[in-house]
Amino acid sequence: MHRIIASSLAASILAVAGLAWAATPATSADEAATCQSLMNQFDTAAPSHNSAPKMVEARAKRSTAESACKSGNYKSGISELRAALNDIGVKPVLQ
Which tens digit of pLDDT belongs to each residue from 13-64?
Answer: 544 444 444 445 679 999 999 999 999 999 999 999 999 999 999 999 999 9
d(CA 12, CA 2) in angstroms, rounded, equals 15
Q: Which domain holds residue 70?
A: 26-87
The vertex-91 CA angle with 33 and 25, nearest 5°, equals 35
The DSSP 8-state label assigned to residue 91 in this structure reads: -
The count of structural domains within the chain is 1
Report if residue 43 sits inside a domain. yes
* Residue 42 CB contacts under 8 Å (≥ 6 apart), including other chains: 58, 62, 81, 84, 85, 88, 90
For residue 28, how far is the Cα from the chain centroid?
11
Report if residue 92 sits inside a domain. no
**pTM of the full structure:** 0.73
